[in-house]
Amino acid sequence: MTRNTQQRGRQRDADREGTESTEGTDGIGGTNRTDSIDSTDLPARGEADETLGAGTTPGADAGVLTLDGVGKSYGAETALSELSLSVAEGEILALLGPSGCGKTTTLRLLAGLESPDTGQLRLHGEEIASAEASESRPPEAFGLSDLEDADREARVAELLELVDLAGRGEAYPDTLSGGQKQRVALARSLAPEPDVLLLDEPLSNLDVRLRVSMREEVHRILAEAGVTAIWVTHDQEEALSIADRVGIMSEGRLHQIGSPEKVFERPATRFVASFLGQAGFLAGRVEGDRLTTDIGPIGREVLDDHGDRDGREEGEAVDVLVRPDDLRVTPATDGHAHGRIVRQQYRGPSFIYRVETTGGDVLHCLHNHTESFDVGRSVRIELVAGHQLAWYPREEGSRDGTRDRGIEAEVETDASATLDR
């Protein structure tokens, strides 16, 4: 490794212990500047979690890269609205959201391919784009043409070793596998030692099995290089497993940003809860120290105290977030049933049963593959969650599940997303 790369790698390790550019090959590119500054501390897990609407990220100026109130529209369509965030030295930030949420527009702005209509973008505190500037200053850097021959050869050898392709420098592209080509693209982007690496769906063209192994490999390479990275993806499992923090976007807005554990286990908004994993919402009504629901009463101690949710008024209608591993079903007679199974999904090691309650809620229950129940079977539902549950004000149309089915359908392939930690 070069001296700068070694320093970044050591700093990244120390931080963790103490606490799209121009769309190049496979959506990988870099943002670079030649001068260096002291790195800032990477926030410890759970300490940098923020819920953001149009507000500014606390301590934004401390980041390597800062977006402050950035907005972008195309005609009457708003692609980004008041986006504010910062990225720390050596951090991997994943931007996650459905198609059209604004994540790729964000990368294009960072790469200088677009200019913001509002707000400002700063790299190491220096403005690289703003609504007032006449033009953006694209900060990309490519190749090693500024190095002497000997230094260039040494850097190439160093990068090939980093991406586990030592000795393959003379290989032709058609002799490389898909994963090897991906590593070459990553090595080329890391060659000029960028301060920020931008990745736009970098693994989307790989098959599922190779995608899983490659995300682990890319994560290792980024960690060893100590590079700061922004990783855009629609794959929930990918985002949750590789990122230090995850930002959830929808319709040009950042709904929540925080550690993978925080955004998954304590989603700040109903959209985040619906988008991550396979969410179900159990309708309830506040009655004293408990909620009444279709599956029986739930004590308030089971519900989280995030924000003002512990201040719900008597009689208020709310929805409780429950995921498949929070619930179990048992066969029941019609007179004692909470609902019936309307769909069965076989996942190999497990079944996920979709259950419609007597009141119209649609829930999902996870069972071992040896526990098989027929569709149409009347069942009782037991809450088995070993953690506090998020809850939200009731939304019109949510009782019958129709509001959330569209989101669920979009992320069906990611329904089993887990924390690979």
Distance of CA 401 to the CA centre of its chain: 24
Q: Which fold has domain 3-264?
A: Rossmann fold (3.40.50)
**Domain boundaries along the sequence of the chain:** 3-264, 277-414
Cα dihedral angle (285, 287, 290, 292), rounded to 10 degrees?
-40
Model pLDDT for residues 34-74, shown as the tens digit of each residue: 222 222 223 333 333 454 433 334 333 458 899 999 999 99
User: What sign results for the dihedral spanned by CA atoms 272, 230, 100, 240?
Assistant: negative
Q: CA 39, 197, 91: angle at the middle one, nearest 5?
A: 45
Of 401 and 328, which is predicted with more confidence?
328
Give the pLDDT confidence score for residue 152 in this predicted structure.
79
Q: How confident is the model at residue 350 (pLDDT cuts 50, 70, 90)?
A: very high
Per-residue pLDDT tens for 209-268?
788 888 888 888 888 888 899 999 989 999 999 999 999 999 999 999 999 999 999 999
Query: 277-414 sits in which CATH class?
Result: mainly beta
Check for a shared fold between 3-264 and 277-414: no
Question: Stretch 268-274: mean pLDDT, rounded?
Answer: 92
Which residue type does 237 have? Answer: E
Question: Where does the pLDDT of residue 295 fall: very low under 50, low under 70, confident under 90, or very high at 90 and above?
Answer: very high
Q: What is the mean pLDDT of the chain?
A: 78
197: nearest Cα among 231, 163, 221, 229: 229
d(Cα 84, Cα 70) in Å, to the nearest integer? 6
Mean pLDDT, to the nearest integer, of 187-193?
81
Which range of 5-14, 140-149, 297-306, 322-331 scores highest in mean pLDDT? It is 322-331
